[in-house]
A and B are shown apart, each in its own frame.
Chain A
Amino acid sequence: DAGVTQSPTHLIKTRGQQVTLRCSPKSGHDTVSWYQQALGQGPQFIFQYYEEEERQRGNFPDRFSGHQFPNYSSELNVNALLLGDSALYLCASSSRTGRAIETKNIQYFGAGTRLSVL
């Protein structure tokens, strides 16, 4: 059973460019959340997708957008890259369905995509 997979593992871009990061959730999960982890800090919530819609959003500008596909996989897009966007981007999957409290309340993380903006 594959866990959460993210691609690519590393990415180098220049200021002003656009980037797309991809995430496949753990089997059986229907919800994908994205986090940004700057060097030396804890992850910061960007947004969450469920049923192909953005359900919740953190304090990030509109340059950050996403998408969820019918197979529950997800993309994170960042436009007009800034130097400050350099970070590890983490994808987490979970399940909103199911009755068990554990099923609904645990997020499993991928290994992340390390984005460097030069």
Chain B
Amino acid sequence: AQSVTQLDSQVPVFEEAPVELRCNYSSSVSVYLFWYVQYPNQGLQLLLKYLSGSTLVKGINGFEAEFNKSQTSFHLRKPSVHISDTAEYFCAVRPNYGQNFVFGPGTRLSVLP
């Protein structure tokens, strides 16, 4: 079975500062990795994904993430955040043999003026 850990439940950061949201996973098989963002009262929007190839992946809204197989991590980063980035961020894994996603508990990013 797979599991996802997001160590920080809340991350406050000032506008234009860099941010890193941490994600670690456990799995006995190869997985695909995803970050989704959820704005208040909305569904989940795909930010970025790692399926294969380069371990550094770029997504929408200036976000990027790096897959580290040895550390089983997939941390999300942005060099300069905006107020509009305030939202809940979910890391998810999907085993390469299956269909369902396993989500982490989420990290609440609050960007302060």
Contact = CB atoms under 8 A, between A and B. Distances in A.
Contacts, number: 63
A48 B43 contact: no
A12 B47 CA distance: 31
A48 B49 contact: no
B71 interface: no
Interface stretch (B11-19, B58-66, B75-83, B98-106): B98-106
Interface stretch (A68-76, A78-86, A109-117): A109-117
Contact of B106 (A41, A44, A50): A41
Interface residues of B, number: 25
A6 B104 CA distance: 23
A111 B42 contact: yes
Contacts of A1: none
A109 B99 contact: no
A56 B100 contact: yes
Interface in B7-61: 32, 34, 36, 41-46, 49, 51-52
A24 interface: no
A101 B51 contact: yes
A43 B103 contact: yes
Contacts of B100: 33, 45, 48, 56, 58
B90 interface: yes
**7 nearest CB pairs, A to B:** A42-B103, A109-B44, A109-B43, A111-B43, A45-B100, A43-B103, A42-B105
